[in-house]
Structure 1
């Protein structure tokens, strides 16, 4: 079969025509004919052995891609989590980890959406326990997941949505999607902190969804720092680390403010929460996307071009999707 294959020590998968087809290992597994799979930060960092779920050594011939959309042997079109890699014509999937895709939903959108939904809805619902009317700050909203997060926060009845980002061309689209206020991370640190602090004083920030970590996370925490008086409780949820994996965190800062600091990602969710994601949350978002009530932007490429496009960085909050 045709596949993108990551060889030991390699950082870019190679296109192979003639790679062995995967074989189902039990009655709970099926062979899916893959039609589309999104290339995510998770896939790239896992391919390098740098993601926190990675075991370290890269197998000598591994097909990357953790999820995708395809056809089951009976012709049913589903989104599924792969037991084997999805950047191939065939993949092994578990019967219990698949979702039927609505007829009106494009393969590329169905492949791109679930990871971003998990990266926003799970944080809002389970880590932050969001309530209607609350003020949400999304740090790093100009990326694909950030733009989905704005829409889901709006869907979950956020009272006010503040977004940060560097790509000024994307700011207007964020406002159109439901954001209320923009904070540019291109400005100097002192101005950034002052703007966040002023917003927090006027409309206390209830939840921070952070996709960047690094310096901007430090600046946001500095803006939330108290001065010895009673403070508003803020739930800070770390989801990504696009601008750095470590921060400097003062114990004085933690003692000065009513802060809940937690993470949202694989390993932090319980089995019941994952079940809700697969049976309720993603199906709902599929229906909204099919009805054009959730805006999802993708760029489709062919599997044979994997070596050329693997490290492509898309602007404007779009997601790269490989079609097969």
Structure 2
């Protein structure tokens, strides 16, 4: 799906973001047009494709589903047009940071009117992650208190909005980017806590919120040291205290891949630890992605109930965009 080396049988007619070895920055180059291998393959003209963590990990070779052949075109999903003019979001495509790619019949969702290509390309990855975390892993219930740790990224901002959509009574957010933190109340955050303060002040702020409304759900995008502080806040110190169930969902590791976790934390509080990523979502839920969840996410954007900030970059500038990374919670989207 991601293409392959140039050959005499293939005509070079498209531009693409190409890597020749793992770990290098994709370059804007000529690449062979994709050719359907079966009757179920169809060529899609790409209109927009976002740059995500999975794209980066595949390109650097660290992902378990890394490219089998090099050179390869990067990208895992995107928005485009089928030969008959149908506008789609392809969720099982490869090599989408290009002018064209192959998609399989049925491995896409029809896009509604009212959503532009760039937004449609940016939405699915953070939207699905936040949806899975809140609804399927945490099982968020009406009126519950949600704390989103590290909420200033694209997915964190999505989680703020979906928490309110699913009926959270209170949404508390933390983060390091003060400019983005200041905008989160507009998306539904009730309380904002900066991670850029002393441990003592951060602990005091978290304890104060925990005392007001105990945390029912924690969606954590940082892991590392901030997670240790949070779990420390949840650690009990009273044998006779009433248990309060807290579902802690780890989604990212911006602050580090490991933590130190005391046995006392798990024994003294009703903490349930979960994760969201490949392999953590049931087959039954995944089957609902193209038929129910993605259509709902697209409709929420069309109706104005969900927002995703984007930065569109021309395909020819992919090398600069790749090095730049996301800024202020805006999802980078490549436009051929």
TM-score (norm 1): 0.95
Partner in structure 2 of residue 305 of structure 1: 317
CA deviation profile, 1:258-277 (whole Å, cap 9, x unmatched): 11101011211122211222
Structure 1 SS opposite 2:163:
helix
Distance 2:81 2:27 in 1: 24
Distance 1:27 1:273 in 2: 28
Equivalences for residues 1-324 of structure 1 within 5 A: 1-17=14-30, 19-51=31-63, 53-55=64-66, 59-227=69-237, 228=239, 229-324=241-336
Distance 1:2 1:313 in 2: 21
Distance 1:273 1:27 in 2: 28
Contact 2:22–2:59 (CA<8 Å) still a contact in 1? no
Deviation at 1:58, TM superposition (A): 6.5
Shifted more, 178-187 versus 81-90: the winner is 81-90
Distance 2:168 2:71 in 1: 45
CA deviation profile, 1:114-152 (whole Å, cap 9, x unmatched): 001111001111111111111111111111111111111
CA deviation profile, 1:13-32 (whole Å, cap 9, x unmatched): 01112x11222333333221
Distance 1:240 1:58 in 2: 26
- The higher radius of gyration belongs to 2
Structure 2 SS opposite 1:299:
strand
Q: CA RMSD in A?
A: 1.5
Deviation at 1:184, TM superposition (A): 0.7
CA deviation profile, 1:216-256 (whole Å, cap 9, x unmatched): 11111111111133331100011111221111111121111
Structure 2 SS opposite 1:96:
coil
Structure 2 SS opposite 1:246:
coil
Shifted more, 139-148 versus 27-36: the winner is 27-36
Q: Which runs of 5+ in 1 are unaligned?
A: none
Structure 1 SS opposite 2:106:
strand
Q: Which runs of 5+ in 2 are unaligned?
A: 1-13
Structure 2 SS opposite 1:66:
coil
Distance 1:243 1:102 in 2: 37
